[in-house]
């Protein structure tokens, strides 16, 4: 509570003193908390705390949410504050966003009739259509528009594997093993073409093991790489 009060006093001074802090029970690999304020006109917010080595993920989430807001996607949380190194959190990065009230579909599913469930998915389809209508001039991670856009998923995956192998080597990996992995990926690079769309659903997840959007890894792609994608 004390850390949340210090943090919000610096990042959200207009919201006033913190009244309560509670942690979300599911859905986030980072620490995700709901912060409520003493002032009646200050709406609750969501605080996501990242590890000290996860600044890239934190900044990517903030960019992705702002990207959606800038393109009129008004159902996504709005970024209210972002810190690369919050003193109240021992230097860890964090994102503070607006709270979207309600329950996950998984939590409410048993209470829905078939018709109600159909209506939920119909509305999700409408939202997905709005997301697909957002223009993208290339394929890459969200960074304002997209960061260092590439032509397709094959080029994107090749760059991602190259980066991971570079980090693998930098952390004193066995050079021979890294070389064998690189050779194997190069020999099978054509397999990436069989997956022309993003390989991991980002905005909508229907697996029982995943119940919240993972915006830290949001991708944008040109329309031909998105059609028919769920």
| Distance in angstroms (rounded) separating the CA atoms of residues 19 and 199 | 41
Lowest mean pLDDT among 11-20, 67-76, 81-90, 204-213: 204-213
The predicted model scores a pTM of 0.66
pLDDT of 10 higher than 90: yes
Question: What is the per-residue pLDDT for 220?
Answer: 52
Tokens describing residue 193: 């073409």
Residue-wise pLDDT tens digits, 56-115 = 888 888 988 888 888 888 888 999 999 998 888 999 999 999 998 888 788 888 999 999
The CATH class, in words, for 2-98 is alpha beta
Question: What is the per-residue pLDDT for 29?
Answer: 59
| Distance in angstroms (rounded) separating the CA atoms of residues 205 and 200 | 9
Characterize 103-134 residue by residue with b for buried, 16 or more Cβ atoms within 10 angstroms of its Cβ, and e for exposed: eebbeeeeeeeeeeeeeeeeeeeeebeebeeb
Tokens describing residue 230: 């769920």
Where in the sequence of the chain do the CATH 3.30.200.20 domains occur?
A: 2-98
Residue-wise pLDDT tens digits, 109-131 = 899 999 999 998 898 888 888 88
Question: What is the per-residue pLDDT for 122?
Answer: 92
């Amino acid at each position: 509570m004390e850390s949340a009060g210090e943090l919000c006093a610096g990042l959200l001074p207009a919201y006033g003193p913190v009244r309560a802090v509670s942690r979300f029970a599911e859905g986030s690999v980072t620490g995700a908390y709901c912060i409520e304020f003493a002032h009646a006109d200050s709406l609750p917010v969501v605080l996501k705390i990242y590890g000290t080595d996860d600044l890239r993920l934190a900044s990517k989430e903030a960019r992705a949410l702002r990207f959606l807001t800038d393109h009129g996607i008004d159902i996504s949380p709005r970024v209210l504050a972002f810190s690369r190194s919050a003193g109240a959190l021992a230097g860890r990065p964090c994102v503070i966003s607006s709270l979207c009230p309600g329950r996950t579909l998984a939590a409410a599913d048993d209470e829905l009739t078939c018709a109600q469930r159909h209506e939920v998915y119909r509305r999700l389809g409408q939202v997905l259509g709005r997301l697909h209508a957002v223009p993208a001039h290339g394929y890459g991670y969200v960074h304002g528009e997209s960061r260092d856009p590439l032509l397709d998923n094959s080029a994107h995956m090749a760059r991602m594997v190259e980066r991971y192998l570079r980090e693998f080597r930098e952390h004193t990996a066995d050079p021979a093993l890294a070389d064998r992995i690189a050779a194997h990926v190069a020999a099978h690079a054509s397999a990436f073409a069989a997956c022309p769309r993003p390989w991991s659903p980002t905005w909508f997840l229907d697996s029982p093991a995943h119940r919240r959007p993972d915006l830290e890894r949001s991708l944008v792609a040109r329309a031909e790489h998105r059609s028919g994608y769920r």
